[in-house]
Amino acid sequence: MTTSRRRDASKPKRAATSSDTTVVSRKGKRRSPSSSAKRRSLIHTHDASVKHYIDSDGYHKMFLALVESMNEAAIVVNRDLKVLAINTAARQLIGATEEDVIGVSCFKVYHSSRCGIGCPLAIAMQTGNEPPETEMQLLNNKNGISTVRVRVRLLRDEHNQIIGGIEFLRDVSADKHRETPPKHRDRFGPLIGRSKAMQQIYQLIEDISDSLATVLIYGETGTGKELVAQAIHQTSLRANGPFVKVNCGAIPETLLEAELFGYVRGAFTDAVTDKPGRFELAHGGTIFLDEIGEISPAVQVKLLRVLQEREFERLGGTKTIKVDVRIIAATNRDLREAVKRGHFREDLFYRLNVIPIHIPPLRERRDDIPLLVDHFVEKFRRDTGRPIEGVSPNTMHIFLNYNWPGNIRELENALEYAFVVCKGGYIQPHHLPVHIRQAVMEAGLRFPAQLEVEEADESNSNDTTKRNELLALLEVYDWDLDKCAQALNTSRSALYRRMRKWGINPIQRS
């Protein structure tokens, strides 16, 4: 027996391979490694060794069967974002064969709108956090575009180290072919209006609901730019994510950078702790940058990088932070003119102006005024409890002809003022703010209703209502009888007779 052992010892030893790897127990018996040991070995080997190992022992078939059994399209990648496995649903979605994708970087497999900028899988690998479900577009091998919802799950070893990830893709392109909405809508989310201009805005918002492109909203002050941004967010696949608003014009220039990008402890005197910026808070959702034309050149440079790379550093920090966020900006300035004058970066302008939306001023969409008036009357009646039924015909006539330099915000403020001074019934012209009454008087506005002097018409009218309307009109024109008679398309003498009949003294002030 001793001789046999010596002969065995004299034989040259054969190098062990991965296929005949064994484990020696304390009793000296050789046994096959456990499946958990195999997985641990697989984690720490290179891709070439991984493929050789999976091909052996039937593990490859089991691994592929597991991926294939998943209901959704699934792609498994390693730490370097190279494809290890792909199921049939995913291959059909991108239009590729298994041989075309295994071992290839994922961004070469399916060209998506997120590749290189805001890739959820890359962000998860770098940050260690799985982002919320997001949306992107895929370009297949036939140049067809599919809209998909993406979920990411990280794969970790027994030491909690990231070794890869799985990306689940759900095709939602069919969901975009919704039932055709009516041609004319009075409302769209928070927006109100039936004019042609508003119908076009509604349609444009629907068209870009599945896009990640940056939107730039143009409009005068008070036109409702923020409401348009909210409507875009609410109709997008990011509706469940945060909607973060930033008024760039209201924040001092020295604080805007810290507000947008955050800061680290010690970045400045009062920075006693780390604070995330608005971009971080908007991760997975939408950030709305109002009055974008007011930002300084220094902030413009940093914002340009976020638009290009979706990454930045906090003020005073060195760590690069990547975010998945859609950017919507708004301005009441002519940014093209600002670019020509050197006040706004040209490259930033073109990055922002991917999808421009122009909101018309209220004076160009007067058809929407009655709807807006009804909306605000209902709102203030609910808030104040005042028994106000609405506005009188003459008041509505003023609303329809006034220029509204402050747009919808001015209309809302005018009605809020009227609810303070009007105790009930219908809002009359004299319940409106002074500046509106003065503008009407200066414009020489004529009212459609005429005062009839015939006794027959007088007998059929409500004298109390007519008297109140006439008093309101006199207030509008500051008791100038000539202008009041002109507005009513009647003579001064006819107006005076009506005033005398109703007991209205020409020097009366109500």
Query: Residue 355 falls within a domain, yes or no?
Result: yes
CA distances from 140 to 90, 137, 144, 170, 239 (A): 11, 10, 5, 15, 26
Greater pLDDT, 462 or 304: 304
Structure tokens at 266: 């010690």
Q: Are residues 135 and 278 in the same domain?
A: no
Residue 478 has pLDDT above 50, yes or no: yes
Q: Are residues 248 and 338 in the same domain?
A: yes
Query: Residue 371 falls within a domain, yes or no?
Result: yes
Mean pLDDT of 416-420: 93
Cα separation, 189 vs 234, whole angstroms = 8
Cβ atoms of 164 and 50 within 8 Å: the answer is no
Q: Of 34-38, 399-403, 452-456, give the lowest mean pLDDT range.
A: 452-456
Q: How long, in residues, is the chain?
A: 510
Q: Are residues 411 and 474 in the same domain?
A: yes
Query: Residue 57 falls within a domain, yes or no?
Result: yes
Q: Would you state the pLDDT for residue 113?
A: 63
Query: Residue 16 falls within a domain, yes or no?
Result: no
Greater pLDDT, 336 or 465: 336
Radius of gyration of the chain (CA): 36
Model-level pTM? 0.57
Contacts of 189 (CB under 8 A, 6+ apart): 227, 230, 231, 234, 235
Greater pLDDT, 64 or 53: 64
Q: Would you state the pLDDT for residue 10?
A: 46
We report the CATH number of the domain holding residue 407 as 1.10.8.60
Q: Are residues 407 and 347 in the same domain?
A: no
Q: Are residues 368 and 333 in the same domain?
A: no
Greater pLDDT, 445 or 185: 185
pLDDT tens for residues 124-148?
A: 888 888 887 877 777 665 545 678 8
pLDDT tens for residues 216-238?
A: 999 999 999 999 999 999 988 88
Residue 170 has pLDDT above 60, yes or no: yes
Cα separation, 34 vs 13, whole angstroms = 25
Query: Residue 33 falls within a domain, yes or no?
Result: no
Ramachandran region, residue 246 (left: φ > 0; alpha: ψ -120 to 50; beta: rest)? beta
Question: Is residue 16 within a helix (H) or strand (E), and if so which, with residue range?
Answer: none
pLDDT class for 376, splitting at 50, 70, 90? very high
DSSP codes of every residue in 246-310: EETTTS-HHHHHHHHHEE-TTSSTT--S-EE-HHHHTTTSEEEEETGGG--HHHHHHHHHHHHHS
Q: Are residues 270 and 196 in the same domain?
A: yes
Domain that holds residue 419: 364-501
Query: Residue 32 falls within a domain, yes or no?
Result: no
Q: Would you state the pLDDT for residue 405?
A: 94
pLDDT class for 456, splitting at 50, 70, 90? very low
Greater pLDDT, 178 or 438: 438
pLDDT tens for residues 78-107?
A: 888 888 888 888 888 877 787 778 888 877
Residue 151 has pLDDT above 80, yes or no: yes
Mean pLDDT of the chain: 78
Side-chain-side CA neighbours of 343 within 13 Å: the count stands at 11
Residue 159 has phi, psi (to 5 degrees) of: -100, 10
Residue 27 has pLDDT above 50, yes or no: no
Q: Are residues 117 and 154 in the same domain?
A: yes
Side-chain-side CA neighbours of 429 within 13 Å: the count stands at 30
Residue 202 has pLDDT above 80, yes or no: yes
Q: What dihedral do alpha carbons 62, 65, 70, 73 form, nearest 10°? A: 120
Contacts of 157 (CB under 8 A, 6+ apart): 40, 43, 163
Cα separation, 82 vs 105, whole angstroms = 4
Residue 29 has phi, psi (to 5 degrees) of: -80, 140
Domain end call among 318, 343, 360: 360
Structure tokens at 59: 């593990």
Residue 20 has pLDDT above 80, yes or no: no
Domain end call among 130, 152, 174: 174
pLDDT tens for residues 299-355?
A: 999 999 998 888 888 888 888 899 999 999 999 999 999 999 999 999 999 999 989
Cα separation, 280 vs 131, whole angstroms = 12
Spacing of C-alpha 214 from chain mean position: 10
Q: Would you state the pLDDT for residue 245?
A: 95
pLDDT class for 23, splitting at 50, 70, 90? very low
We report the CATH number of the domain holding residue 162 as 3.30.450.20
Side-chain-side CA neighbours of 258 within 13 Å: the count stands at 18
Mean pLDDT of 487-497: 77
Query: Residue 42 falls within a domain, yes or no?
Result: no
Residue 57 has pLDDT above 90, yes or no: no
Q: Would you state the pLDDT for residue 507?
A: 58
Structure tokens at 196: 């042609």
Query: Residue 37 falls within a domain, yes or no?
Result: no
Residue 441 has pLDDT above 90, yes or no: no
Q: Of 360-369, 415-424, 478-487, 489-498, give the lowest mean pLDDT range.
A: 478-487
Q: Would you state the pLDDT for residue 359?
A: 95
Q: Would you state the pLDDT for residue 291?
A: 94
pLDDT over 90, % of the chain: 28
Mean pLDDT of 35-43: 41
Q: Are residues 219 and 300 in the same domain?
A: yes
Tell me how many domains the chain contains. Answer: 3
Q: Would you state the pLDDT for residue 330?
A: 96
Q: Are residues 226 and 336 in the same domain?
A: yes
3-state secondary structure (DSSP) of residue 206: helix
